[in-house]
Amino acid sequence: EVQLLESGGGLVQPGGSLRLSCAASGFTFSNYAMSWVRQAPGKGLDYVSAISVGGGGTYYADSVKGRFTISRDKNTLFLQMNSLRAEDTAIYYCARGGDNYDYWGQGTLVTVSS
Amino acid sequence: EIVLTQSPGTLSLSPGERATLSCRASQIVISSYLAWYQQKPGQAPRLLIYGASNRATGIPDRFSGSGSGTDFTLTISRLEPEDFAVYYCQQYGRSPITFGQGTRLEIK
């Protein structure tokens, strides 16, 4: 059974940093591109970032470019988030795939507030 | 970027009825790279349709997708109680990937 389990969310002050993790199991992680998608409270879905199968290709939404860094290692996906802003407050989902997403984690909540 | 506009914003129907949800793109969606997701409260989205008309694994055949170019449709042929949720379309043919704002399907 495919499972994606996010962790690392929490409350952080504006300008702070967080590192999200997504532990993958039930499939061959190295064979799939992976992505992060976020959802602000009560709002719709927003693409954040994606990483290619080998990790050599990384892609970002304009809103996070230069502040967020996606990476992968063994069976885990990461999202390093720096210079956080109030508008980054959202549930962050890890998803399997680089374009459409056939499996999603349950998400981890990031709250940016003073 | 490609803007996806979903209509209606809210759709009120009864179980057993047919639901038709629309997704219109501001530019042509290349190769029909259009997906549909279902999201229930407190849950992650679930992939229903990819490539405009291909059902994802385990999705019942009452769900169907159609369309090309800039106009796409998700049809639920006969609504079951568990189908009442929010539905999002997504285009992945051109960077950046974008989502529609969602259609809420509620019980009448």
Q: Residue A22 in contact with residue A103, Cβ under 8 Å?
A: no
Q: Residue A54's pLDDT is what? A: 87
Mark yes or no for CB contact B90/A45 under 8 Å.
yes
To test the contact with chain B by mutation, choose from A99, A102, A106, A108 the residue with the greatest count of B C-beta atoms within 10 A, namely A99
Nearest to B47 among A44, A59, A102 (CB): A102
Percent of chain A residues past pLDDT 70, beyond the cut: 100
Confirm or reject contact between B87 and chain A (CB < 8 A).
no
**pLDDT 10s digits, B29-60:** 988 899 999 999 999 999 999 999 999 999 99
Q: Residue A47's pLDDT is what? A: 97
Residues of chain B with pLDDT under 50: none
CB atoms within 10 A of CB B50: 23
From chain A, the residues in CB contact with B5 under 8 A are none
Q: Which residue has the tokens 């949800």?
A: B21
Percent of chain B residues past pLDDT 70, beyond the cut: 100
Burial label for B100, CB within 10 Å (0-12, 13-18, 19+), is: buried
Burial label for B59, CB within 10 Å (0-12, 13-18, 19+), is: middle
What is the rounded distance in angstroms from the CA atom of residue A10 to the CA atom of residue B51? 36
| β-pairing verdict for A108-112 and A10-12 | parallel
From chain B, the residues in CB contact with A37 under 8 A are 45
Q: Residue A21's pLDDT is what? A: 98
**pLDDT 10s digits, A45-95:** 999 999 999 889 999 999 999 999 999 999 999 999 999 999 999 999 999
Q: Residue A73's pLDDT is what? A: 94
